[in-house]
Structure 1
Amino acid sequence: MTYAATDRPRIGWIGAGRMGYQLASRLLDAGHDVAVYNRTRAKAAPLADLGATIVDRPEELADRDVVFVMVSASADLESVTTGPGGVLTADTAPGVLIDSSTVSTQVSARVREEAAKRGTDFLAAPVSGNPKVIAAGKLTVAVSGPREVFDSVEPLLNLLGRGVTYVGEDEVARLVKIAHNVFLGVVTQSLTEITLLAEKGGVKRSAFLEFLNDSVMGSVFTQYKSPALVNLDFKPTFTNILLRKDFDLGLTAARELEVPMPVASATAQLVQAAIGAGHTEEDFATLLLEQARRCGITLEPENVAVDDGLTPES
């Protein structure tokens, strides 16, 4: 292991999208030395006001103690690590590479192998949440890889949110995250179905969801999705395109492991239907709109205040 745990490791961050930007900000707020790369430099530029150094290529982060990666897809992970100008292609190599993207286990394993050739330890650390969840301090992280490496960087991971769980060796964190996101889609589709069942029977969405969220069936997730379902505010936190990718990964894993997933398979088709209907840039809560169409309901915003349960940390 090339990384020696210190109180103030020098950090690199690759990927300053909606999630990556917020998480890098948390490390900067904690006083860490953070250098950031993003494919579109302008998106990362505001982090300079928080003290970040902005670089032009991933390879410029190769001398960092710990480098986090948060990109959109498997091909992006390979591009920023082992592709031309990648962080694993420079003369030096980081001590630890922590990837928080949602990617396939096969690509993760390839990057882990290439990192090992450079003497870099690799942790898969996919996260659960969105920017508002991050701001509320409720992000959760599943981590897999060498236990001693996890122990050395756990203090950094704890800065990202409220729950960091070591789940095992190698790529098993990828399977944990993919299973989580499949459940996310299934729960959302089910939530739209029961909400519209109640509405078609004469119950306001706000009233039904208030009851549900106060019951044993309510959850942090059903509460924070309630404002979108009630007021039809579909500003994206996670799109149907990204959800479809995770269903594809989950159902592929299910075939490889010989696990039947009939409910997930049916939901994947409904996500595809929403994409086919043009709901590609909005939040995946637009599953509600497609369910309403099938029910013969024309939805209107209720325009009432709904608590999402995500009060930002002070």
Structure 2
Amino acid sequence: MVKTDRTVSQGLWQGGLIVKLGFLGLGRMGSGMAARLLTVAPDLKVYNRSAAATRPLADRGATVAQSIADFGDCDLVFTMVADDSAERDLSLGSGGLAQTLPAGAIHVACSTISVDCARALDVAHRERGQSYLSMPVFGRPDAAAAGKLFLVAAGPVETFAAIAPYRERLGQRSFHLGERPEQANLVKLSGNYLIATVIESLGEAMALVEKGGIDRHAYLELLTGTLFDAPVYRNYGKLIADRQQRPAGFALPLAQKDLRLVMAAAEDLAVPLPFSGPLRDRFLQLAAQGHGDLDWSALGVGAAQAAGLPVVLGGDEREP
């Protein structure tokens, strides 16, 4: 049991102690995050629709839940699933978390979901005397496994404070950006939009200089050693230069889904996103070519293909 900064509410909270912890959604990101939490919550309860994903954690001592109903004794649960549909099924459907968790419990959704879905989750939990926090993350699966994610949270500040020991296991830094949970989802979607524009524009620039006879790796070294010394340029630049598109740390269909969500949010707020149109077309082109299993770094490799360079999308031809 871990002492939190303060007691959040009634129910199973006792003197500021989190008694039972759960984690639902064990994809590549969720598995790494749950493993980190297991080090501070040895009785962590885990659930995944595909039971095979629970076995590595079960081997380390985690309790495997057979259904969502098994989380009825949890004070704090995290969810990390692919999209709105999966999050709604887990949390809002008949027998979902909102109906299952006790009054006073906390649900932290780390999934990248729409603003509307986050609002619905907040309402459902508040109606049942529970607390809801949106806390999507920035980082790839290796960062999740190492506890190096960046956590973007919004919701009641006392809830954010109460889960501090768990945030410290999951990420290298946490940000609380507002009292309305959906604000965190808007920030996450805007960040993914920025990353997509970087991948696309970097791929285009790299294709331009390569076609002019300049080594793309040398060009990347110049960029990241001068004006563009940032993780997004270093990490995705290397993937593009190496033509590495597998394994998919973040698969193209998920990135395409996030573009749709950010475009919907922008329309609701009457904010033009002129770059979203070309990005949408690139995503559709890759989807039409059957590249749904590739990492979204393939956006940049697709720019090289469009320039007529000798590129095989999905070919993973890495150069030294």
Q: Deviations over 1:159-201 (max 9, x none)?
A: 1011110000111001000101111111110110111111111
For 1:282, the equivalent position in structure 2 comes to 294
For the pair 1:269 / 2:262, whether they are aligned, the reply is: no
**8 Å Cα contact 2:220/2:238 also seen in 1:** no
Name the stretch that deviates more: 39-48 or 221-230. Answer: 221-230
Q: CA deviation at 1:84?
A: 3.1
Q: How does 1:144-159 map to 2 (within 5 A)?
A: 144-159=154-169
Name the stretch that deviates more: 196-205 or 264-273. Answer: 264-273
For 2:242, the equivalent position in structure 1 comes to 231
Identity %: 31
Q: Deviations over 1:105-163 (max 9, x none)?
A: 11111121111122110000011111112244431011011111111112211210111
Output the CA distance in 1 between the equivalents of 2:147 and 2:210: 33
For 2:51, the equivalent position in structure 1 comes to 41
Secondary structure of the corresponding residue to residue 284 of structure 1:
coil
For 1:299, the equivalent position in structure 2 comes to 311
Q: CA deviation at 1:12?
A: 0.4
Output the CA distance in 1 between the equivalents of 2:43 and 2:123: 28
Secondary structure of the corresponding residue to residue 100 of structure 2:
coil
Q: Cα gap change, 1:292/1:91 in structure 2, threshold over 3 Å: closer, same or farther? A: closer
For 1:252, the equivalent position in structure 2 comes to 264
Q: CA deviation at 1:89?
A: 2.3
Amino acid across the alignment from 1:71: V
Q: Cα gap change, 1:136/1:37 in structure 2, threshold over 3 Å: closer, same or farther? A: closer
Output the CA distance in 2 between the equivalents of 1:207 and 1:136: 30
Q: How does 1:182-193 map to 2 (within 5 A)?
A: 182-193=193-204
For 2:124, the equivalent position in structure 1 comes to 114
* Structure 1 unaligned residues grouped into runs of 5+: 305-314
Secondary structure of the corresponding residue to residue 67 of structure 1:
strand
Amino acid across the alignment from 2:148: K
**8 Å Cα contact 2:71/2:100 also seen in 1:** no
Amino acid across the alignment from 2:179: E
For the pair 1:103 / 2:113, whether they are aligned, the reply is: yes
Q: How does 1:149-188 map to 2 (within 5 A)?
A: 149-170=159-180, 171-188=182-199
Q: CA deviation at 1:7?
A: 5.5
TM-score (norm 1): 0.91
Output the CA distance in 2 between the equivalents of 1:288 and 1:282: 12
Output the CA distance in 2 between the equivalents of 1:115 and 1:32: 26
> What is the Cα-based RMSD across aligned positions, in Å?
1.8
Q: Cα gap change, 1:260/1:4 in structure 2, threshold over 3 Å: closer, same or farther? A: farther
Q: CA deviation at 1:44?
A: 1.3
For 1:199, the equivalent position in structure 2 comes to 210
Candidates 16, 23, 26, aligned match of 1:16: 26
Secondary structure of the corresponding residue to residue 217 of structure 1:
coil
Output the CA distance in 2 between the equivalents of 1:144 and 1:173: 5
* Structure 2 unaligned residues grouped into runs of 5+: 1-8
Output the CA distance in 2 between the equivalents of 1:281 and 1:91: 35
Q: CA deviation at 1:8?
A: 5.4
**8 Å Cα contact 2:73/2:101 also seen in 1:** no
Output the CA distance in 1 between the equivalents of 2:225 and 2:60: 39
Q: CA deviation at 1:265?
A: 2.6
